Structure formats: structure tokens, C-alpha cells
Amino acid sequence: MAINFIPNDPLTLASMPIRTQAPRPDRPAGAAGFSIQNPVAEDLFAQGTPDFLFWQCREAALMALETWESLAGTLAEWGIPGPDPTRLPVFPNDGLELNAYYDRESLRFFEHSTAGKSTFSGASTDVVAHETGHALLDAVRPDLMNRILGGANPLPEINAFHESFGDCVAFLTALSDPDTRAALLAVAPDLGTANFVEALMEDLADGVLRFLGPDHPSAQPRRALNNFQWELPTLLPASGPPAVLTGEEHSFSRVFTGCFHDTVRNIFNSGQDRTEGTLWTAAQTAGKLLIAAARKAPETARFFQAVGRAMVLEDQTLNAGAHRDAIVRAFDGHGIRLGSAAMTAPRAALAGGAPRMAAAVGSVLTRATRRDLMERMGIQPGSRMVVDTLELGGEPLAKAVYHRSVSLTGLAAGLEGVVALAPEPVLVGAVGARAALLSALPEPVTTEDEVRSYVSTLVAAGRIELPEGRRRARRRGAVASATQSSLPTHAIRVRGDQKVLVRLRFLCGRH
Ligand SMILES: [Zn+2]
């Protein structure tokens, strides 16, 4: 038996046509998989039918998961609550929206019609792989979504990285397909010209273009081959048309995606032969480094650089530094200097003895070291610091994270008295028998600037469910307008004695 499958995107069928293939087998019990809603028996269904959408969505999700596992090993379970963390529920068509999302409970895709043309977000392998990418990253780095503390991670680069990671998974998923690689190299032999693989979610962007016009931020596909240069997100506009780099997370994510694309491209072009086989090897090399770095990079305000540096360090461990130049040049091309791998060089001696890496989490750092750190970071004595250990570039390290509560008062009506909890990580190692600081000390003012600037982008895009907006929506009968999102990404919840900004979902369409 066989199914019809769109390997890339409904709008790129001229480059990579719909094809008939055997569906991937069901996932084994005991490994992460999906529970796809509304199953139908396998058959050759026509594009645009619900039965087609079931098999298309299933195949795309499994393809993304398989791609991840070829780089990072078997995934045992997702970071989702509920009785079965091995089966992530997937809704191939959950109703009328021009969107797709991951909300730590499910992946959801939708249908939307404009001018007689329908957009099914679940019909695009790009979109399904992107959302699966959010879920994969969340499975290994739940702190980047920060629901651990019942909040939202409010740093711009960390949220933009989550979006970029979804796009990198979509890019890698496309490259995992031999026919796609052959078609790609026919039009872009050195990956240096625009093509259907580096362009992501074409059909969904076209739906936004038809519905909301060319100036909407999502009215063009995001492109991994781009020339966007990193800038401090606090200095970028809160929103703008597709061609403009803004602080909005999808827009800003393009800088990191460009760095990753160019890492693949540099590794590929540094080889002797350029074949679809060596392209997959280059993509796998870069993909492994990306995943390893994403697992380990400290969640600083400058997260793009932190991940890039961790890629260099991991390359040292995994490949004896063979791709260092390829990585450094790729990031340099987007304005991110990785410098030497000085992420883990001692900067200052700290009070107390060397961290006890093998000790229980509570006693990795001595009391004297913790006290010294808190004093240097301007933290109230008795505040909570989360301490963990990790290995980076072959070196054991301790990571201590303080969550600074940043006031959102003044950013929008409804945010008075609301706070966001922002991570401030520091790395601690040893110099001889002494504890030593291995990273820059976070500055409270920088944390506040970054958080407030990020939340301004959410306000500009209407993504926070504010109590006032909810009341208004109820009065109007909950009909969402073109400008007000019916799917907010953030909301305000009471946690203890604080009103805290929390993330509800990563949303990837009209916003
Ligand atoms: Zn996304």
C-alpha cells in the first residue's frame, strides 16, 4: 500500500512534486512518537482532502523525528504532561485559523480560505517539521520555554532561537530526503542561490499575503539563505514588513537560521566532491553540532553567540576542531563574533572551594561560592539559584541560574504590576582547588532592557492575552478580527504572590 506525500511544501510542487510512497512504519513502543487525530486507512488520497491531510501530516512529523534521531539518537519521550509522554497528540486540521502551533501539549494545524484558495498548514512538511522542532527542543531544553517556573522565557534571543531551531529542523528534514537534495543541487550547486529548500513555509506565507497584504510580517517565506546582520535586539523596531529585521521573534530568528544555513554551506563547500551524498554528510555534521550546542549553551541574553560558541567547543570534542573555521565564518557573516572559544576561560576567582561536580545538585557549589555570586549579581540573600552541572568542550562545569523578576509596568494597559522572570546564568569552574567564574556576570539593567524590549514586540503584535482584551472579545462574541489574534502566545497568571507573564504556545503563522 502507499500514500500521496508532499515532501516539501504545497507551493513548491514545481521543484519537488507530490509523490507516491510507502508510509513510514509506526513508532516502536518505548520511543517518542505521535498520536495523530482522526486516523483513516492508508490509501492514495487527493490533495486537499482530510484523509490526505492525515497521512501527509503523519509522514512529515515522522520524517522530522527521524531526522532528529539520525543526529541525536533515539528520543525516549516528549516534554509534555499527561499519562503518556511518548505520544505527542497531533491535530492535522483543528479548525479555521491561518496558523500552526506547539503548546507543550500538542501540535495543531489549521485550515484557512482566502479568495477561494485554501491553506492547510498541516499539508506543508516545512510547517509540520518546524512545529515538531519546537517540541524536540522543548524535550531537551524545557527551560528555554520556561514553563518549569510557571512563566515564560522573556529574553528576545532565546525566543528567536526557539523559532530558528524549528526552521533549522525543517531545513534539515528537507535535506534528509535524497530526491530533495538532488533537486536542490540542480538549482543551487553550492547552496549560494535562492531555492525551495532554504525558503520555508511558502504556502502559509502566501495565505498571509492574500489575507493581510504584503506588509504583514509573515507575508513572505522566511529564508535560511539571507544576509541579515545581528544587532542588539533592544535597538531593533518592534515590528515591520518581511524585508525588515525586527525584534519580533520570527523576524529576528532569521539571523541565527542564516548562521546555521551558512555553516552547512561552508562545510559542504570545503569538501572535495559536491554530491547529494556529501551534502547530507555536511548537514548531519552541522545538525549534530547544533543539537549538542542547543542542549548545553547557557541561557544568556546573547544566546545566539552562546550557541555558536558551544558549536565550536562541541566540534573540538567531536571532530577535533575540523569545522571550526566553517562555523566561525558562518556566524561572522551575520555579525556574530565567536572569537576564541573563551566561553569557559577563568575570569575571576570566587570565594569557596572548587565545585563538586559529582555531588547532589544542592551542594555542587559551596555556601561561600553561592554567597559570593549572589553578592556580585546584586541578588537578595536567601533568593533561589538553580545549580546544575554540564560538560562543555570536554570540561565539567557548574551552571547557576538566578531568575530576575522584571517589571512590565508601563508597556501596555493591563501589564501594571505584572512581572516576567528572566534567567541570569553564570558558569563556575575550578582553578586548582578554588572556585572560578567562567562567564561574564549578567547585568540587571541589561536583563531589564532585553525583557522589556521583547515584551514590547509581543504587545506590538497583539500576542498577549490581556484581561481587558478578553473582556472586549467576550462582549463582541469572541469573533477575532484580522488584527487581534484569537490565539495569543502569552497570558498573565498568578503565581504565588506575583502576576507573571506565561507562554501558552509557539505560534507560527499570522500574528
Ligand atoms: Zn515556531
C-alpha cell, 490: 502569552
Query: What is the Å distance from ligand 1's center to 101 Cα?
Result: 7
Query: What is the Å distance from ligand 1's center to 499 Cα?
Result: 26
Query: What is the Å distance from ligand 1's center to 421 Cα?
Result: 21
Q: What is the pLDDT of residue 470?
A: 53
Q: Which residues contact 470 (CB under 8 A, 6 or more apart)?
A: none
Query: What is the Å distance from ligand 1's center to 132 Cα?
Result: 9
pLDDT of 179 over the 90 cut:
yes
Q: How confident is the model at residue 476 (pLDDT cuts 50, 70, 90)?
A: very low
DSSP single-letter state for residue 335: T
pLDDT of 154 over the 70 cut:
yes
Q: How confident is the model at residue 147 (pLDDT cuts 50, 70, 90)?
A: low
Q: What is the pLDDT of residue 353?
A: 96
Residue percentage of the chain with pLDDT more than 90: 86
Q: What is the pLDDT of residue 466?
A: 85
- Crossing angle of helices 125-140 and 202-212, rounded to 10°: 110
pLDDT of 469 over the 80 cut:
no
Instruction: Mark out the alpha helices in 189-275 (DSSP H runs).
Output: 202-212, 249-269
Please, are residues 36 and 132 in contact by the beta-carbon 8 Å criterion?
no
pLDDT of 434 over the 90 cut:
yes
Quick: pLDDT tens for 319-346. 999 999 999 999 999 999 997 656 778 8
Ion ligand 1 residue ranges (Cβ < 5 Å):
163, 166, 506, 508
- In 49-188, DSSP assigns E strands to 87-91, 100-102, 107-109, 111-114, 117-120
The number of CA neighbours under 13 Å toward the Cβ of 254 is: 25
The number of CA neighbours under 13 Å toward the Cβ of 73 is: 3
C-alpha cell, 234: 533592544
C-alpha cell, 476: 463582541
pLDDT of 473 over the 70 cut:
no
Query: What is the Å distance from ligand 1's center to 253 Cα?
Result: 10
Query: What is the Å distance from ligand 1's center to 508 Cα?
Result: 5
Q: How confident is the model at residue 471 (pLDDT cuts 50, 70, 90)?
A: low
- Crossing angle of helices 156-175 and 276-296, rounded to 10°: 150
The alpha carbons of the chain give a radius of gyration, in whole angstroms, of: 23
Closest to 26 in 3D by CA, of 10, 42, 6: 42
Query: What is the Å distance from ligand 1's center to 205 Cα?
Result: 13
CA distance 16 to 438: 48
Quickly count: other Cβ atoms within 10 Å of residue 357's Cβ: 14
Query: What is the Å distance from ligand 1's center to 121 Cα?
Result: 12
Query: What is the Å distance from ligand 1's center to 190 Cα?
Result: 28
CA distance 157 to 150: 20
Q: What is the pLDDT of residue 150?
A: 67
